[in-house]
Structure 1
């Protein structure tokens, strides 16, 4: 069922504490942690505690939690001191866009110049 933890989901296991992660922020509905394969000096993932396979399904089912992710991404940028130099919030949806973990998540990237378009 949507929103319920999935036994085979890496991010659900991070939420439950069964898989370790370097958590930088946590709210009632979200967890933010450092990416294990950073693509920028600051690369933090912000995920909902509830399981949804991608950002679109999360936004359709739980728009308030989708907004929580964006708010927490901004808080992460402030805490990481990248809000003044700029940062990017990226949601990859589907394998063709580079999504490898099918639990909605936002990448917060910053700390260096970020080119556009990204790839």
Structure 2
């Protein structure tokens, strides 16, 4: 069954897309926890970080390059930003399609919250 991210990639459901190329799509999180909260998703459905393979390296590199370009375009690269990925239930993963949360736009607090 396709994830919600695959449905966004396939344009089956709407999203506020801010970046897209042949390997990556990035869009605004619908429940942001920072002034800037972007989800950066590979266009290949990879369930978790544990599932990546050497063949996925092009997607991973494309994600990091997209993050750099997005940070520059949103004027957060100089002051800084946070990049988070969650893995499985204890890590807080809710959508089982690998993705990064790009957070910025203000000074961020401690990384670990309970």
TM over 0.5: yes
Shift of 1:96: 1.1
Deviates more, 1:54-63 or 1:37-46: 54-63
Instruction: Give the one of 76, 81, 84 matched to 2:78.
Output: 84
Distance 1:70 1:16, change over 3 A: same
CA distance in structure 1 between the partners assigned to 2:63 and 2:32 by the alignment: 19
Shift of 1:92: 0.6
RMSD: 1.3
- Confirm or deny that 1:15 pairs with 2:9: yes
- Confirm or deny that 1:51 pairs with 2:64: no
Shift of 1:116: 3.0
User: Which TM-score applies when normalising by structure 1?
Assistant: 0.88
User: Which TM-score applies when normalising by structure 2?
Assistant: 0.92
Unaligned 5+ segments in structure 1 are 1-6
Number of matched pairs: 113
What SS does structure 2 have at the residue aligned with 1:66?
helix
CA distance in structure 2 between the partners assigned to 1:61 and 1:115 by the alignment: 36
Unaligned 5+ segments in structure 2 are none
Distance 1:74 1:99, change over 3 A: same
What SS does structure 2 have at the residue aligned with 1:62?
helix
